[in-house]
Structure 1
Amino acid sequence: MSDKKFQIQKKPFVVPTDDGKYIGEHFGKASDGNSEISIAHMIAPPHWSEPFQTPDFDEYTFIFEGKKQFLIDEKEIILEAGESIKIPAGTRVQYSNPFDKPCTYISICKPAFDFNKVNREE
């Protein structure tokens, strides 16, 4: 539902993945064309990881359930439910869930997440 004063998102854009991670973008480039900010519901399965990346956007993460590991300039940081982090644009980071339970979290990117600006390493 949407009008000039608000927009309710009931059917986020589900980003196709091949690693078992759930990404449901509620607002952002893929869901509503917003390039200023993206907000996504994420579920990282147990023992999931992605390559290092150096995004051209700030990323905020809030953990709802489970734990998530961040390697930032080779420093290991582990967040648990109720904790959050801001990672500024231009920071080299690797996200993972090396634990035995899924991690449910919200990711907010400003400007919006863009595959062309995530700069993942091979």
Structure 2
Amino acid sequence: MKNNASKWVLGQKVTLHPTTGDYDLVVCETPAGAQGPPPHVHSEYKEAFMVVQGELEFFVNGKTFVCKQGESVDIPPGTLHTFSNKTDAACTWVNIHSPKGFYKFFETFGVPETEDNAIMKSVEPEIIQKVLATASQYDMAIPPPPQQ
């Protein structure tokens, strides 16, 4: 199957790979030092991550751990999670959502990689506010940050 063009989504380079199954498959690149999405929960989606190169730090249900090249993380529905790249090298990883449908989030908020300053545009305050305002339309519940 043909790959779609890559887009920058919330500071992550995302390339959708169309599938005939009931899941979304994307290959992502997280730049060095980049934060992932805000901590969130999917009520319907099962999600899996597999690190192909580099490493990601995950926050899953209050626990933080590092996932290195060749390792994977399984996120069942109802699990609070996010990730970041705390290293000085980019990380490449595969992401799967099941059932199919989360690709719409990537398509809605993605900035084509061919646009000037695409990575910066993907994290502009207007985009972040739109994500926060519409997250529930994509089966994402984003709890408020904990009070300090």
Normalised by the size of structure 2, how large is the TM-score? 0.65
Q: Tell me, what secondary structure is at the counterpart of 1:51?
A: coil
Partners of 1:78 and 1:17 in 2: CA distance:
22
Letter in 1 for 2:98: K
Partners of 2:7 and 2:98 in 1: CA distance:
18
The equivalent of 1:92 in structure 2 is: 80
| RMSD across aligned positions (CA) | 2.1
Partners of 1:37 and 1:77 in 2: CA distance:
26
The equivalent of 1:80 in structure 2 is: 68
Q: Which 5+ residue runs of structure 2 have no aligned equivalent?
A: 106-137
Shift, 1:22, TM fit: 0.4
The equivalent of 1:117 in structure 2 is: 139
Q: Does 1:41 align with 2:27?
A: yes
Deviation track 1:22-54 (CA, whole Å, cap 9, x = no partner) reads: 0011126xxxxx793100000011111121010
Q: Tell me, what secondary structure is at the counterpart of 1:48?
A: coil
Q: Which 5+ residue runs of structure 1 have no aligned equivalent?
A: 1-7, 29-33
Q: Following superposition of structure 1 onto structure 2, how do residues 9-48 of structure 1 map, counting pairs within 5 Å?
A: 9=2, 11-19=3-11, 21-27=12-18, 36-48=22-34
The 4+ residue runs of structure 1 with deviation greater than 4 A are: none
Q: Does 1:51 align with 2:38?
A: yes
The equivalent of 1:31 in structure 2 is: none
Kindly indicate which of the two structures has a greater share of residues assigned to helix: 2
Kindly indicate which of the two structures has a greater share of residues assigned to strand: 1
Q: Is the 8 A contact 1:64 1:104 kept in 2?
A: yes
The equivalent of 2:123 in structure 1 is: none
The aligned length equals: 108
Shift, 1:17, TM fit: 2.5
Q: Tell me, what secondary structure is at the counterpart of 2:9?
A: coil
Letter in 2 for 1:120: I
Identity value in percent: 21
Q: Is the 8 A contact 1:66 1:103 kept in 2?
A: yes
Partners of 2:63 and 2:96 in 1: CA distance:
22
Letter in 2 for 1:27: P
The equivalent of 2:124 in structure 1 is: none
